[in-house]
Chains A and B, each alone.
Chain A
Amino acid sequence: MGMTMTQKILAAHAGLDSVTPGQLIEADLDLVLGNDITSPVAIHEIEKMKTEGVFHKDKIALVMDHFVPNKDIKSAEHCKCVREFACKHDITNYFDVGEMGIEHALLPEKGLTVAGDVIIGADSHTCTYGALGAFSTGVGSTDMAAGMATGKAWFKVPSAIKFTLTGKPAKWVSGKDIILHIIGMIGVDGALYKSMEFVGDGIQHLSMDDRFTIANMAIEGGGKNGIFPVDEKCQAYLKEHSMRPYKVYEADPDAVYDEEYTIDLSTLKSTVAFPHLPENTKTIDEAGDIKIDQVVIGSCTNGRYEDLRIAAEILKGKKVKKGVRTIVIPATQQIYLDAMEAGFIRTFIEAGAIVSTPTCGPCLGGYMGILAQGERCVSTTNRNFVGRMGHTESEIYLASPAVAAASAITGRISSPDEV
């Protein structure tokens, strides 16, 4: 039986010629990731283990991104715990304030994630690196601890759903609209325990930033991972960012999929997920008159250069609606600098938005943009669960950077064509 791209990567890392769905395997890890929320729990666990140190000081990444610069004393204690651990074990890839960025934007940019890798991270959006042709998946802190100690993790080999993307998306349709469309189609548990494998000639029209966004939200469809083929655009990205050798895997022609979907990207419209699930999608022309109080443009889903470029294109020379707090968060220091040099930061500030240092803060209701009772936010983040960004009676509408920027100008959910 042929194998999917994911199955081939897993087989190679388990030292096996082939694997089948449902098989339990132990795989070697190329990278183990944690952040300032999940790592303290993992460190507590690893300190209880009867093991010496960590498996490889270069293959662990600790990124302080959720509650930094620290929002309160407890967050500061958490970061201190991770900082001391990183120092004690001489962890090469420890990223603190000044060097940090949002983990899933930072690690590809630093060249730490490449095609063919097996990566686990104690953060559910670890699936982002599938954009580079890697197998990567989110785990909890205990798995992270075991991974840091042993360099291995057990997996149940997933079956897969194949999404064939054809055609060229329209001007304002981005990776975010594509993945929201897919989640609307399959539901938030449509890919539970499974790989989401993206193929097709439509992919050539997607920037790497579009692909990161799509792979990033595989988890919102319940997926174990999302993965893209390694084409010329991807190889150019890898060569630009990483010195590490990479390996290209391709699905067998006779690979077996549980389900197959074909999506003509040229037919898609800007898409918005209504409260309180990412599957509650409507196209922008179905959205109706929804007045908003806040806009967030950023996060591991949509805080990259291309996202800021699109937002700046729409906001250039315009003003955000009075009363709509508009928060722009470049995902890494490099993206911040690039956006500054391109003039985007000036555009945002002159439009009446604020620009923050990289942080996950508002996405998960940590800080930097908490919603009051009854307030509504258009956000380029990834989850619109009850209370995710603040009060349990606040509402989050997930959208692309283009829709978010347009909505900031009008004060209601709007198409970029309106402004």
Chain B
Amino acid sequence: MKAACGTVFKYGDNVDTDVIIPARYLNSSEPKELALHCMEDIDKEFIKEVKPGDIIVAEKNFGCGSSREHAPIAIKAAGVSCVIAETFARIFYRNSINIGLPIVECKEAAAEIQAGDEVEVDFDSGVITDKTTGKTYQGQAFPEFMQKIIDCQGLVNYINQK
């Protein structure tokens, strides 16, 4: 399975789905359109600066609030290759796996990695490497079935291939 590698955008605790994709844009379900407003209410610069492969690092309870799958869809469509957090809200966690957005829980990485760091995540081993500081962290590796869902770009393709 491939690894993620990119520049870090850093956020704090309880980043909710309303700031990830505000409800005023939920009259659309088109990924590219949602991506245009990704993180808009917490970081207006995000969508101007994000490049394909970049990584979001946040602290506790990332993705809390609404069940809107539009939130991980917007993050993925914005080009983000992985989200690292100390913990994720459970619906966001499920939704991310189901649409094929890699997410990794790691308390130390979430606390220490800084905005702008270059970070690599190996999905097979769960190892997170901060190439800017040289430090490595052991995140939780995905169980095999979750890896396969992500490889298939989501649950539906995975079910279809079974």
Contacts and interface: CB of A to CB of B under 8 A. Distances in A.
Interface of A: 37-38, 40-41, 44-45, 48-50, 66-67, 71-72, 74-75, 78, 121-124, 126, 138-143, 145-146, 188-189, 192-193, 219, 222, 224, 277, 364-366, 383, 385-388, 392
Nearest to A75: B27
B69 A38 contact: yes
Given A138-B67, A189-B64, A364-B66, A41 B14 contact: no
A139 B67 CA distance: 6
A188 B13 CA distance: 10
Given A78-B27, A140-B95, A387 B19 contact: yes
Contacts of B22: 365, 387
Nearest to B97: A142
B61 A189 contact: yes
Given A45-B156, A140-B98, A224 B90 contact: yes
A392 B14 CA distance: 16
A67 B27 contact: yes
B18 interface: yes
Given A146-B155, A365-B23, A385-B65, A140 B18 contact: no
Contacts of B65: 124, 383, 385
Interface of B: 14, 16, 18-19, 22-24, 26-29, 41-42, 60-61, 64-70, 72-73, 87, 89-91, 94-95, 98-99, 154-157, 159-160
Contact of B23 (A50, A140, A141, A364): A364
Output the residue of B27, B61, B67, B73 with the most chain A CB within 10 A. Answer: B67
A142 B69 contact: yes
Contacts of A138: 67, 91
Contacts of A365: 18, 22-24
A142 B18 CA distance: 19
Output the residue of B29, B60, B68, B159 with the most chain A CB within 10 A. Answer: B29
B155 to A, nearest CB: 5
A158 to B, nearest CB: 9
